[in-house]
Every structure is written in structure tokens, then in C-alpha cells.
């Protein structure tokens, strides 16, 4: 897939700068267009018994975000645009955000923070409902770029295969990848893992395969530990998978990664 059109979520909080800087960097090296979508919760302005929207506070927040976006995207020239969801409630923000996200090749979001006026489930709902790969940036740390040291969470499933394909446009030629398969004691390693390594090599990704067997240790914690050991700058994972092979995806596993990520994660669903 050619990465030509990226959507990045922006709000009025300082953490926006980190994911915006990463989105700009990705757009720079891929030649993609970058669109910002402002979305955060806010109350309508009430005078007496009359409520009006948008409130002066919301308008000011949008304009501040627009100005910051304009400054950050100067290297992209005219390959930029700024949009506003123009809604203040959780339900309407999420609905409109997801509808717009479907029109892009990649969506960049921030990890949920409790003190930020953004719907807590916006990343999860975008992953599940948009049909697009979603790059979630942790709420701590700075990330100059991704794609030099990717880690691919492998589970012999449709979701895992889709995640690797979706990650390809983000990878740098000659990058050092790691394929991690985590299984229970009763399960065997994927007998076709060598073919996956060969396919990545055809894409100029030098990848090696590791198989972990876990018992009491959490599958997701094993994956996060492997990402740390590899110094991964990107984790690609199938999210909310269904079917027989669901250790990496369905429900709690995906939410665990969303809550405890230590590097940008590309979720595919």
C-alpha cells in the first residue's frame, strides 16, 4: 500500500505536539498529505436558559490548535489541511471522527489520558470501526520516527497478517525487524514462520523470528518485554481478532496493549 493520505488527531493539550511531530515526519519521508482533525469534549456556552455552540472557549482551542498545526507542518508545504469535528459530546465526537478516518490511509492518535478532554474510547472505537490502520502514540516520551526497528506480533491469524501488511509503508529499507510469536505450552510454533521471514526479506526487512512459550506470564506482557529488549520503535499487531487464535487480539489483550504501550503501536482490525 502506498501511504498518500494521513489523518492525525489534535486537541488543545500539550501532548498533541508529540504525535503531530511524528505524523509530520512520516508524511515527510513518504510524501503523504497530512490532515489534522481537531476533536475534544466541551460544553456548549450557556447564557440564562439559552445554549449556543460552539462556545468561545472551544473556538479559542480550535484556533490555537490550528496555529500549532500550521507551524509544525511548514516542511510539508501545501500537503496539509485542518478540520474540526465541531462537536463536544463523546458520542458525536467518536461518530464523526470514525466517519472521517475511513477516508484516509492511516490514522494517528494518542494513547488515552485521564486528564485530557478526549473521549476515553476514541482509539478503541477508531481501531474497531474505521477499517483503517491506526497508529497510537504513547502519552509519554518523544518519537522522532518509526520503522527502523519494528516488532511484528505474530499469531498465525488474519489480523496478524493484516498488521504486517499495514506496517509496510512505515518501514525503512533495511530495517531490523523481529517477529514474535507467543504461545501456550500446548501450542506449537507456526510451521510456516520461515516463509514470513522470507517475505519480509523480499521487502528489504531483515527480520528474525522468536517463539516464546508462556504459562503464568501474561502473553501481552511477554510481547511488551520483547519489544523493550528489541528497542522496538514500532509494534504492529492485529487488534480485536476473533476466531481460534485470539491471544493477541480479542478484548482484554488489545486493551492491555492500549493501556501499557511503551512505543508507538500500529493496530490493524
pLDDT digits (tens, 9 = 90+) for 73-96: 999 999 999 999 999 999 999 999
Could you tell me if residue 144 is inside a domain?
Answer: no
Are both 57 and 175 inside the same structural domain?
Answer: no
Are both 132 and 154 inside the same structural domain?
Answer: no
Could you tell me if residue 49 is inside a domain?
Answer: yes
> 242 falls in which pLDDT band (50, 70, 90)?
low
What is the reported pLDDT for 140?
Answer: 95
Which domain-ending residue is among 110, 137, 164? Answer: 137
Are both 78 and 177 inside the same structural domain?
Answer: no
| pTM check: above 0.85 | yes
Are both 95 and 26 inside the same structural domain?
Answer: yes
Span 120-163, pLDDT tens digits: 999 999 999 999 999 999 999 999 999 999 999 998 889 999 99
H or E stretch covering 9 = strand 5-10
Are both 114 and 157 inside the same structural domain?
Answer: no
> 244 falls in which pLDDT band (50, 70, 90)?
very low
Are both 116 and 12 inside the same structural domain?
Answer: yes
Could you tell me if residue 142 is inside a domain?
Answer: no
- Grid cell locating 143: 518519537
Are both 113 and 159 inside the same structural domain?
Answer: no
Q: What is the mean pLDDT of the chain?
A: 92
Q: What percent of the chain has pLDDT over 70?
A: 94
What is the reported pLDDT for 47?
Answer: 59
Could you tell me if residue 165 is inside a domain?
Answer: yes
Are both 132 and 42 inside the same structural domain?
Answer: yes
Are both 192 and 254 inside the same structural domain?
Answer: yes
| Number of domains forming the structure of the chain | 2
264 vs 26: CA distance, rounded Å: 13
Could you tell me if residue 145 is inside a domain?
Answer: no
Residue for grid cell 490493524: 268
Domain limits for position 167: 150-268
What's the alpha-carbon Rg for the chain, to the nearest Å? 19
Find all residues with CB under 8 Å of 252, minimum gap 6, and list them. Answer: none
Q: How far is CA 112 from CA 45, 52, 124, 201, in A?
A: 26, 28, 10, 35
Long-range contacts of 86-93 (CB under 8 A, 24+ apart): 86/54, 87/39, 88/41, 88/42, 88/43, 88/44, 88/53, 88/54, 88/55, 88/58, 89/41, 90/41, 90/119, 90/120, 90/121, 93/39, 93/40, 93/41, 93/118, 93/119, 93/122
pLDDT surpasses 50 at 183: yes
Amino acid at each position: 500500500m502506498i501511504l498518500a493520505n494521513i489523518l492525525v488527531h489534535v486537541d488543545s493539550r500539550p501532548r498533541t505536539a508529540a504525535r503531530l511531530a511524528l505524523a509530520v515526519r512520516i508524511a515527510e519521508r513518504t510524501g503523504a498529505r497530512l490532515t489534522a482533525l481537531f476533536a475534544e469534549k466541551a460544553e456548549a456556552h450557556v447564557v440564562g436558559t439559552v445554549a449556543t455552540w460552539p462556545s468561545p472557549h472551544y473556538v479559542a482551542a480550535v484556533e490555537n490548535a490550528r496555529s500549532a498545526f500550521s507551524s509544525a507542518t511548514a516542511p510539508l508545504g501545501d500537503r496539509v489541511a485542518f478540520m474540526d469535528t465541531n462537536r463536544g459530546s463523546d458520542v458525536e465526537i467518536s461518530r464523526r471522527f470514525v466517519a472521517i478516518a475511513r477516508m484516509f490511509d492511516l490514522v494517528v492518535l494518542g494513547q488515552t489520558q485521564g486528564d485530557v478532554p478526549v473521549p476515553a474510547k476514541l482509539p478503541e472505537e477508531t481501531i474497531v470501526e474505521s477499517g483503517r490502520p491506526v497508529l497510537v502514540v504513547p502519552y509519554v516520551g518523544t518519537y522522532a520516527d518509526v520503522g527502523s526497528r519494528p516488532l511484528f506480533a505474530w499469531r498465525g491469524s488474519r489480523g496478524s497478517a493484516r498488521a504486517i501488511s499495514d506496517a509496510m509503508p512505515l518501514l525503512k529499507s533495511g530495517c531490523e525487524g523481529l517477529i514474535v510469536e507467543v504461545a501456550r505450552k500446548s501450542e506449537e510454533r507456526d510451521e510456516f514462520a520461515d516463509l514470513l521471514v522470507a517475505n519480509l526479506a523480499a521487502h528489504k526487512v531483515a527480520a528474525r523470528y522468536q517463539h516464546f512459550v508462556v504459562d503464568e506470564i501474561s502473553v501481552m506482557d511477554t510481547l511488551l518485554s520483547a519489544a523493550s529488549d528489541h528497542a522496538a520503535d514500532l509494534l504492529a499487531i492485529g487488534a480485536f481478532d476473533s476466531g481460534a487464535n485470539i491471544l493477541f487480539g480479542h478484548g482484554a489483550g488489545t486493551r492491555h496493549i492500549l493501556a501499557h504501550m511503551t512505543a508507538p503501536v500500529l493496530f490493524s482490525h
